[in-house]
Amino acid sequence: MDQSVTLVGTSVSILFCCLSKSFPPPRLIKHSASLLFPHPKALPGQILQGILPLLNIYYLERIEDIAVKKGLSTQPIWHKLWNDVMKIRPSKSENITSWRKKFLETFFSNVLHGVLDVSSDQRLSDRHFSPLLHSSRHVTQLTICNMLQGVAELTAEPNQRVLENLAGSLRTLKFRHLLTSDLSIRHSLSLLLHHLIHHGAVSQVSMCSWPVPDKVLLVLILSMSAGFWHPGKTLVHQGSPCSLCREESDAQGLLTQEDEALLESNQLCCGSAEQSETVQWGDSESRSRKAQTASAKVLQEADPDSQASIELSRSSSDTVKTPVLCGLRSHPLQNLACQDTSCKVPPEYHNIKGESSPSLPKRSSVGPAFRKPYRRFKTAVGRKRRCTRRNRRARADSEDLYDFVFAVAREEEEAAAESLYESNAQEGESIDGWAPSPADTPSFEGVGCTEGGSVGILPLKAACRFRSVSTLELFSIPLTGDTCRALGNLLSSWASLEKLVLSYNGLGANIFCILSGLRALSHRRDCSLHVVRVSDVFSYIPSVELVRSILTAFPRLHTLSVSFDLKNQLEGNRPEGHSSSEAEIPESCLEQLEIRFPREPLQTSLLLPVLKASRSLQQLSLDSATISCPLEFGLLLQALKECNPGLKRLSFHDVNLADYQKEVLLLLQDPVLQEITFSFCRLFESCTTEFLSNIIKIVKRNSTLKSLKLPGNRLGNHRLVALADIFSEDSSSSICQLDVSSNCIKPDGLLEFAKKLESHILQRGGQITFTHLRLFQNWLDQDAATAQEALRRLRAVCSVVSNTWDSSQAFADYISVM
């Protein structure tokens, strides 16, 4: 009773200060806050409403739920905090649903990177609370920049609870402008990724703007994102697995007797099999020493823990075991499927002459027990020291990170993929029939793919498989042949990957390494990949050819986007040999296809087989293509009608259609298409009045078409006013979205359009389907008053999206339209 009286009394004192517009003393606020918890429900709503703006961020966050239950919103308070503390304006494209989450997420990042001093504002400082711990629960996206600032702090022992909170809340992990880091930071990063990805809920990893990437650091991030981890001394120094691994092992059980037998067998340990190993593979190792010398420097940087790795475990080179022996970690939010683990000879175990390497014995299929996490680290360390001393010198150069990527990734390929690769290796052909010259063929020397196959392969007991992310994005990061081969091998077994984005990576001929990994991945029954986006400055092969190659390698894709800015002007860089157009494209699951041509011909003859194989296609976008003749365009329209009956969205951007008016009218008559886009296609560059009237008549009769987008087609005022007749009383049109951006529209023309639209609506009794109008980059600044009047009338009818644009920056060729 006394506590309630004191609480109300203190709250009333603060309320009087609020009413008198004087700020209460900080001591009084803190005293009131301490009384509020754990009994904040005792306060009436009106008193609580007066106290909320005076609380610091820690008490404000804690009282959020109670305030909502009392019908109070803290969003204005968090918004004010954002403006006062962050002092930056969020992007207009960002849809902020919770200012609390927005503030605390940014607050966490700024404190972590040392950008924000919490002592600078009394609302941010409280000795009873940790800024990082308190805000970490609200962080769903974290960006790591430059020298990996904050990584060591997050993995430090005092911030263990912070890392646990991030593991549960974080969904997106971004890397921007990274620089080369030292060994200790790299160890901290591996621990951080292990917690956030392998034991956490991170589903997306994005890397951006890395002009000169550190090859070792890049492959480390890629391999751990794919679920692979080579702990090395990172955990050996700790003397045990990480706490999460240990907890999962305790919860799910120890090794079964069968597992123990396998771990102790000669196939896994370097016991009696070592002598036969030396004899059997001696020639192969001697042949590959020169290739390993090229990666000796990378070895020291990429795997500084190679000695500990050897101490952890070794496997006999005449037997390959799958990584499930090391324990498969699955997060409750996402189960990583790796059920087909039968061990057959992967394609890497064939030499360049097409001869098979010494046979590798198969083992029995792995049961469900093998998919449990195991206590593997202490066992491996205890049993492998004596084996390592005998072969330390012979295997020192082979224990690098790239070898690990190549070894693990290929072991989970399906039998169909292996036989396909074997046949391709014997025929000496590349992906989809391409046969590049030797100069164009990427070299695998020094990256774990050498003659003999087994040399340079990391022991799989030291390579652990965990949960992996579902989205990988690489923006503006040059990928060399080594990193492309490493990525291709990771992709071959990345079953959980759903979306892959490669943007401006300078792939060139290395695109075939990626295709190789995708082809292997497509043969996995548990494969999840359905979105691939590839964009670059120069095209190594024609755009349509690349589309054919990707679909042939991975017909299970749902979305495919291929975009290039410029042609590759170096003639010698084009692949030689017979074209991939000779290869038949299997039936695909493609639903969305986007192709940006670098001012190349449309190549309808090559595009038609793609359309025929994509019966499920629903959306097609063609950008910056050139059409040679009406016959070519007609063939395309005929193929779309016959082969893609489910096509609903069709888009042309920067394709000159000024001379193809007949074909444009045929598209507008299509009874299936729901959205048509003609963006910067010069439709009305030299058209007649008859062409515009035909468009209006056809659209008025088409009840299927719902969206018509005509940006950048030089409509002008009089053509815009004419388009209002689409919504006349005798129209059966279902158009609900109209885009007339960048069409040289002036305020007076827009006002006339608005008035004409109002009259049609009155004639139809107020019944109209038109809901959205886009007016970006028009000349509305020439008469602000008239423009505001037009926008006011239009907004009473539909939703209008416009912007303030300086028309003086318009291109000179638009002036002639008016």
Q: What is the DSSP string of 176-194?
A: ES-----HHHHHHHHHHHI
Q: Report pLDDT for 232.
A: 61
Length of the chain counted residue by residue: 818
Cα gap 795→552, rounded to integer Å: 49
pLDDT tens readout for residues 38-57: 455 667 778 888 888 889 99
How far is residue 377's CA from residue 134's CA, in Å, rounded to a whole number? Answer: 34
String of b and e for 195-207 (b: at least 16 CB within 10 Å)?
A: bbbbbbbbbbbbb
**Residue-wise burial string across 643-652, b where 16 or more C-beta atoms lie within 10 A, e elsewhere:** bbeebbbbbb
pLDDT tens digits, one per residue of 147-197: 898 999 999 999 999 999 999 999 999 999 998 778 889 999 999 999 999
Which residue type occupies 346?
A: P
Give the pairing of strands 228-229 and 464-465: antiparallel
- Structure confidence at residue 9 (pLDDT): 45
* Whole-number pLDDT of residue 310: 35
Segments in the chain below pLDDT 50: 1-24, 26, 28, 31, 35, 37-38, 236-240, 253-462, 571-573, 575-579, 813-814, 817-818
User: What is the C-alpha to C-alpha distance for residues 512 and 430, in angstroms, rounded to an integer?
Assistant: 8
Tokens at 398, concatenated: 């082979």
Question: Would you say 46 and 52 are in contact if contact means Cβ atoms under 8 Å apart?
Answer: no
Q: CB of 350 within 8 A of CB of 357?
A: yes
Q: DSSP letters along 549-561, please?
A: HHHHH-TT-SEEE
The predicted structure's pLDDT at residue 569: 58
Contact in structure between 637 and 609 (CB atoms under 8 Å):
no
| Helix/strand/coil for 448 | coil
Residue 370 near residue 293 (C-beta atoms within 8 A): no
Q: What one-letter code names the amino acid at 444?
A: F
Instruction: Report the alpha-carbon distance of residue 318 to residue 734 in Å, rounded.
Output: 68
**Enclosing H/E stretch for 403:** helix 401-410
Q: What is the pLDDT of residue 589?
A: 93
What gap in Å lies between CA 22 and CA 54, rounded to an integer?
A: 11
Q: For position 43, what pLDDT does the model report?
A: 73
Question: How far is residue 505's CA from residue 450's CA, in Å, rounded to a whole number?
Answer: 26
| Residues 292, 450 contacting (CB under 8 angstroms) | yes
Cis amide prior to 158 (ω within 30 degrees): no
Q: How far from 290 is each of 285, 295, 397, 442, 752, CA to CA, in Å?
A: 10, 9, 11, 17, 78
Cα distance between residue 116 and residue 71, in whole Å:
32
pLDDT at 460: 34
Is-contact 626 654, C-beta < 8 A? no
The alpha-carbon radius of gyration of the chain (Å, integer) is 32
CB proximity list for 717: less than 8 A, separation 6 or greater: 745, 746, 748, 749, 750, 752, 818
pTM, two decimal places:
0.73
How many C-beta atoms surround the C-beta of residue 489 within 10 A?
28
What CA–CA distance (Å, rounded) separates 281 from 477?
38
Task: Tell me the three state secondary structure of residue 724.
Answer: helix
Query: Nearest 5°: phi and psi at 664?
Result: -65, -40
pLDDT for 704: 95
Question: Is residue 277 exposed (0-12), middle (13-18) or buried (19+ Cβ within 10 Å)?
Answer: buried
Report strand pairing: 499-503 vs 228-229. unpaired
